[in-house]
Structure 1
Amino acid sequence: MENINFTPFPDLSTERLKLRQLDIRDKNEIFALRSDEKVLEFQEREKLKSIDEALNFISKIKKGISNNEWVFWAITQKGDNKLVGGICLWNISKESSRADIGFELFPNYQGMGIMQEALTAVIEYGFKNMKLNSIVAFTHMNNSKSIKLLKRNNFIKDESINNSHQEVVYILKG
């Protein structure tokens, strides 16, 4: 795996989507996304309680990107800069050329193929540009939509990684 450098930020584009850097102007959407009960249903994280917490999250993400610790894309539809979701590569291990993938989408944008399109672009970026050997996804055992998406993209359940929670682990090898 080569040295990772997310500067300049690696904007990605698909047929319908633009994956861009998260910005302070996304604070309202980040707050709404990360406090939405439906989005949080299968997440093991605290619900955001304020716009200030959303701003802190954005600041943390930007700092991690500038330190090349992770990369987080705001998912937007072409022609509309409004954030509809997010997707990231994080827990990047240079030693094993591996990264974890995470994603979330507002419920009213689910079922439209948006995450499929975003996931395809990020997987390609991870293997082609970052030279990853594998991408790992942790998802709740009852999150059937996420599991179906991962399987459709050739992720295979990894029984070798033990999780103490209700998560299952899927892995995609490059």
Structure 2
Amino acid sequence: MSIESAFSQFPTLTTERLRLRQIRPNDAESFFEIFSDEEAMRYYGHEPHTSIEETRARIQRIGEQYEQREALRWGITLKDDNTILGSCGFHHLRADFKLAETGYELKRSHWGQGIMAEAEAAVLEYGFNELGFHRVEAIIDIVNGRSKGLLLKLGFTYEGNLRQRFYFQGGFEDEHFFGLLKEEWNARDRATGKG
């Protein structure tokens, strides 16, 4: 598989419990549950949605980014239920540098169940070993302990803080960078018997 083939037909991924599929317009109500939840959006860098129209516009933008080959974002569902629980994927794709950034969000009712770790592991495996990425980055608010814990569990390394790089809600905030290399991901798989 290559980046070209990923953009000619959207790739569906499966794990032990989950199916990661293309996000569709009729997923708006499920996504609105997430994007309107102040706690779920606390560290997202955007204000919570106040109308489903905002969520529909976000879903449309996800589709446009895919069509423009700028991002791959999967909707996360359980294998036996097609309802969206969250999403994850790659944005800021730089095929020339074999680089992408990852991001994710999940309904609060499904926090603490290992769902995002399982979904992100599938996405990282696909990115490194099917799309040929050499490096995947993540940028978070360092006080978001759940996100930091997830990244460390997946093998990311904290690489530094860019001071006051992001303007949000009338003030400047730091951005904290994490990175993961293909060789680190594959070594992790070998160590756990998955590779």
TM-score (norm 2): 0.84
Alpha-carbon offset, residue 162 of structure 1: 2.3
Question: What is the root-mean-square deviation of aligned Cα atoms in Å?
Answer: 1.3
1:20-78 deviation line (CA, Å, top 9, x unaligned): 00011101111121111111111211221211111111111111112211001000001
Alpha carbons of 1:79 and 1:136: their partners in 2 closer, same or farther (altered >3 Å)?
A: same
Cα distance change on mapping 1:20 and 1:169 into 2, 3 Å: same
User: Could you say which residue in structure 2 is the equivalent of 1:169?
Assistant: 177
Where in structure 2 are there 5+ consecutive unaligned residues?
165-172, 183-195
Measure, in 2, the Cα distance between the counterparts of 1:95 and 1:62. Answer: 22
Deviation for aligned residue 1:163: 4.4
Compute the displacement of 1:147 (Å).
0.6
Partner Cα separation in structure 2 for residue 9 and residue 31 of structure 1: 23
After superposition, give the CA deviation of every residue in 1:110-139 in whole Å (9 maximum; x if it has no partner). 110101100110000110111011000011
Q: What amino acid maps onto 2:147 in structure 1?
A: S
Q: TM-score, normalised by structure 1?
A: 0.94
**What SS is found at the alignment partner of 2:96?**
coil
Asked whether the equivalents of residues 19 and 118 of structure 1 are also in contact (C-alpha less than 8 Å), the reply is yes
Q: Which residue number in structure 1 is paired with residue 109 of structure 2?
A: 108
1:173 Cα deviation from its structure 2 partner:
0.5
Following superposition of structure 1 onto structure 2, how do residues 39-58 of structure 1 map, counting pairs within 5 Å?
39-58=40-59
Larger Rg: 2
Note the C-alpha offset of 1:3: 4.5
AA in 1 matched with 2:162: N
Correspondence for 2:159: 158
**In structure 2, the residue corresponding to 1:73 is in which secondary structure?**
strand
The residue number in structure 1 matching 2:192 is none
Deviation, structure 1 residue 96:
1.7
The match for 1:71 is 72
Aligned residue in 2 for 1:145:
146
Q: CA deviation at 1:103?
A: 0.5
| Residue-pair matches, total | 172
Letter of the aligned partner of 1:7 in structure 2? S
